[in-house]
Structure 1
Amino acid sequence: MQSKLLLYPVGDLDTALPFFTEALGLPVKFRDGDRYCALDAGALTLALVAGEERLVEQPALAFKVDEAEDIAAAVTRLVEAGAAVAQPPAQGPHEARAVLHTPEGFALVLSAKLAPAS
């Protein structure tokens, strides 16, 4: 798994965005309506999430599951290592995703590309 994403929940993208773009100077990489905005923070992407994309209430690391492993297998592996499932794998608008808590209780989000429709 690779992580270069920090999910940062906000109440409203339009209200939150100027602080990050103007005050902090982070450029927008991608925006998806009122629910998701990826900002370039160097080696890390800061993802402002609102509405249905607000899977967590506190900032959380997000990991993309390697294509060779499906999200259910990744969740099982992490649970065996001490994580707890907060939200089981479910299909989101662009990917499958799950929310776990680390053994220390911090949120961790997994995502995986959806299988192509046949």
Structure 2
Amino acid sequence: MEVKRLQNVYLVAQRPGELNAFYESALGLKLKFRDGDRWIQYGAGMALACPEEAAPATSGAVLVFEVDEFDSAKERITAAGGAVLAERDMGSHGAVLSLRDPEGNIVQLFKRAA
């Protein structure tokens, strides 16, 4: 067996439909496929799954999305019900902005150094 690539990452969400509103408005993720509130797939390789669709005993994941800037993201995150937790400068590697979505999942935004 050979792993070819990462297919996707999903978060187990108690209320996927409500959390979808956060990811669409705060991060601008574009919907790729939706099976009601059971599975919501975005073009960025990330999905939301209800507990029944998830692998047994699944608990959270940390998603990292690459972005160009943080300023507008901070405003959109808080306006959509999330919380900005911290920003970390990693010098020549770039920077990360850590946030919490409305269900408490941790997400990071990565910005490459100029």
Task: Give the TM-score normalised by the residue count of structure 1.
Answer: 0.44
